Amino acid sequence: MKLSGRIKDQHFQFSSVTELLAKASEEKSGDRMSKVAAESSLERVAAKWILSELTLKDIYENPVIPYEKDEVTRVIYDQINNHIYNEIAHWTVSYLREYILDHSTTSSALKRISRGLTSEMIAAVAKLMSSIDLVMASQKIRYQAHCNTTIGEPGRLAFRCQPNHPTDKSEGILASLKEGLSYGSGDAVIGINPNNDSVESVSRLLTISHEFIQKWGIPTQNCVLAHITTQLQALKKGAPMALMFQSLAGTEKANRDFGVNKELLDEASYYMMKMGTSSGPNVMYFETGQGSEVSLDADHGVDMQTLESRTYGYARHWNPFMVNNVSGFIGPETLFDGRQMIRADLEDLFMGKLNGLPMGIAPTYTNHMESDQNDQEIAGMLTALAGANFYMGVPGGDDVMLSYQDTSFHDDASLREMLGFRPLREFEIWLETMGIMENGRLTPKAGDLSIFN
């Protein structure tokens, strides 16, 4: 395995695959903070060149965190289809890129080889791709999943209606929920971020949203984004829950800081299948995003992009209904500006899809980043073009509960109209029944909350 090379009379030597992957990443403030980023553009180019000539076997035999030391590594490697891996082990990373982008390579072929790829291989090939490469490759891969609605069908774009309220007041949550539904948002999930994480409060929010869904016959699923242990207790006490949520990361140490591990996720998945209200079989909802590991000092010297790909490889084990990438949520210490946020969104959408997941994107930013609404809208349009399954729907694009900026109900409607997407099939029929949508376009009743009186 060659880890050195010469460019412009400069010799570059990398000590490991882990270092090579990190130095080949596009510039990110989190990688610079953790001192794994390339020191110059020339070093980055050298790293990309040398990485392009590694074989997939080189990467397979050198996981960034050893199998014996990390649960995430074990889950990823235990899922690999050895027959498919052995077919492609001799490919270089450069050849893998050419294969993915070749016009004759089908979605079915990509889904097949993905079963023989580790998450580090997927991160490696993404590092050799330009933005247009990432969009083209992402367009080819589409995974469907079913909870109460089916997400991921061609020509369909869904949204999570996010009716948060800073004090969990029922009236405020229902007003926000009605507004989102009136604009056609909510077919992915009605997902509430709670202020109060107690079992009693979470159970109350699940009951409120469930009863509203039942009353109006809405084909969707409810979820309250408390910690998984709280949701599990609420579920066992009989709270009506269609989808269970948890944030995940790409190392065992970071997941331990999140208070989660494989055993707990297995238990949650089991009880959702046994006691959840949805038809399934996909009953889990995960959120991820570049930078959580470095923020928790749990990155093991691995770059943010590679760790994010490992998060997807870990998430795949539970066949989730939806995985939402929220890069940009943490702040400038991980993604400094709009340029870094847009690049991360494109990388993450592609890596999630090639890891076998039904991906959504939340092109978010905090107000202390060098980013603004224009960056967010550009990221939204590009990732919609690349085939993201869903986005968030937040009143005014400003989350009053979590104090960050996300896509609004109006952004949702605009993305559908600009790109000719329709709501999820079951939800579109309901919108037409309510008079909110006709022939795929919102009617004058859109935004009129009195339809729920």
List Cα–Cα distances, 413 to 86, 178, 289, in angstroms: 45, 15, 25
For 119, 280, 389, the CA distances from 157, given in Å and listed in that order, are 26, 19, 6
Is residue 166 a known part of a binding site? no
**C-alpha distance from residue 273 to each of 12, 155, 184 (Å):** 52, 29, 28
Q: Is 162 annotated as a binding residue?
A: yes
- Strand-pair partners of 4: 13
- Confirm if 292 and 270 have CB atoms less than 8 A apart: no
Distance CA 220, CA 278 (A): 9
Instruction: Evaluate whether 321 touches 284 at the Cβ level (below 8 Å).
Output: yes
Ligand-binding annotation for 161, yes or no, is: yes
- Smallest Cα–Cα separation from 39: which of 51, 50, 25, 52? 25
DSSP for 428-444, written as a single string: HHHHHHTTSEETTEE-T
Is 275 annotated as ligand-binding? Answer: no
Q: According to the annotation, is 359 in a ligand binding site? A: no
For tokens 């076997």, name the residue: 57
Burial class (CB in 10 A: 0-12, 13-18, 19+), 378: middle
Radius of gyration of the chain (CA): 21
In the numeric block, the tokens 């790109």 are attached to: 419
**Joined tokens for residue 226:** 């408390």
Known binding-site residue numbers for adenosylcob(III)alamin: 194, 246, 295, 401
Known binding-site residue numbers for substrate: 160-162, 193, 287
Known binding-site residue numbers: 160-162, 193-194, 246, 287, 295, 401
